[in-house]
Structure 1
Amino acid sequence: MTPRLYDLSSSWTFPNTQQEVWDVIADPDMAWPDWWPGCMLAKPLERPTRTGPSDDDLLLATTATLNFKASLGYTLSVSYHPTYVDSPKEITFDAGGDLAGEGRVTLSATKNGLTQMDIEWRVRPTSRWMTFLSPVARPAFTYAHAVLMKRGEAGLREYLARQNDKS
């Protein structure tokens, strides 16, 4: 059985500058568990001992594997390896683990001075149970993804607000 493709997208908007949002989401040390509820590092970051001099070079040399606890009770382990970085506007990455495919995050300034973050995923489940259940559970998996993303958006919003309060 060929796993079904999931095209998933989210848009988040923040009152912070594009650079402030970028500095958190494109952190080469992958501090996402600091702000994303239900997210934790599954294993240490993978990267060669030598990388280029910039944060972008370090980011491109890094593979992070994160566990995400879904609202339906299961946990997905997903690896992210950036393939393209255009700081502070865009990052594309390959995904592996329980979901294989690719993703893209773009940041842009809105007319009213906010920062919009658009997230696109094109992934297929790799685990047998998800592949088997996808034909009937697709709506539930899509719902669980939406809830997970809302938790991430809320967590990032709170984290950015705390960072601004420290300034």
Structure 2
Amino acid sequence: MTSRLFDLASTWHLPFTPEQVWTIIADVDMSWPKWWPHCTFAAPLVRTEAKSNSQEDILKATTAHLNFRASLGYTLTISIQPTNVVTPKEIDFDAGGHLEGTGRVVLTPEAQGQATRMDIEWRVRPTQRWMNLLTPIAAPAFTAAHSLMMRQGGEGLVKALANQAPQATA
């Protein structure tokens, strides 16, 4: 049985500059579980020797294994391995684990650079037998659970960015 390809896209409009967003989403220590609800580390980060000390090369040498707990009660363990990094604009990555495929995050300045549009694309296939068996009838539920998880991630990122933003002085 060939598993179904899911093309999943989300767009977040963030009231922060692309550089501010980048510092959190492209953190070499992968801080996502600190701000993304229902996201935890499944294992420690795996880092091979980077070509240089640049953030881009360190990210490309890093694999994160993350658990995402869906609203439907299941947990997906996904590995994320950046393959292309263009600071502060884009990260392409390979995904493995319970979902295999590719992903991309693109940051686009808005509001004269004071806000950011963050487009997130996933092209993945489930690898778990139960998910593949249920996909013909449960695909809409899986897609809805993904949308909710992404919305929660966007809200968590806004809170994290607000906490790091410099406070205006009176």
Structure 1-normalised TM-score? 0.96
* Residue 38 of structure 1: aligned partner: 38
- Partner Cα separation in structure 2 for residue 147 and residue 95 of structure 1: 20
* Residue 164 of structure 2: aligned partner: 163
Q: What is the CA deviation profile of residues 108-135 of structure 1, one whole-angstrom value per residue up to 9, with x for unaligned ones?
A: 1124531000000000000000011001
**Runs of 4 or more above 6 Å deviation:** none
* Residue 77 of structure 1: aligned partner: 77
* Residue 140 of structure 1: aligned partner: 141
Unmatched 5+ residue regions in structure 2? none
Question: Could you tell me whether the CA contact under 8 Å between 2:107 and 2:119 is conserved in 1?
Answer: yes
- Partner Cα separation in structure 2 for residue 129 and residue 156 of structure 1: 31
Residue 97 of structure 2 aligns with an amino acid whose one-letter code is: G
Unmatched 5+ residue regions in structure 1? none
Which secondary structure does the structure 2 equivalent of 1:63 belong to?
Answer: strand
Q: CA deviation at 1:137?
A: 0.3
- Partner Cα separation in structure 1 for residue 50 and residue 10 of structure 2: 34
Q: CA deviation at 1:51?
A: 4.6
- Partner Cα separation in structure 1 for residue 50 and residue 136 of structure 2: 44
Question: Could you tell me whether the CA contact under 8 Å between 2:104 and 2:121 is conserved in 1?
Answer: yes
- Partner Cα separation in structure 2 for residue 31 and residue 126 of structure 1: 26
* Residue 104 of structure 2: aligned partner: 104
Q: CA deviation at 1:104?
A: 0.4
Q: CA deviation at 1:165?
A: 4.9
Structure 2-normalised TM-score? 0.94
Question: Quick check: 1:125 aligned with 2:150?
Answer: no
Over the matched positions of the two proteins, sequence identity in percent amounts to 56
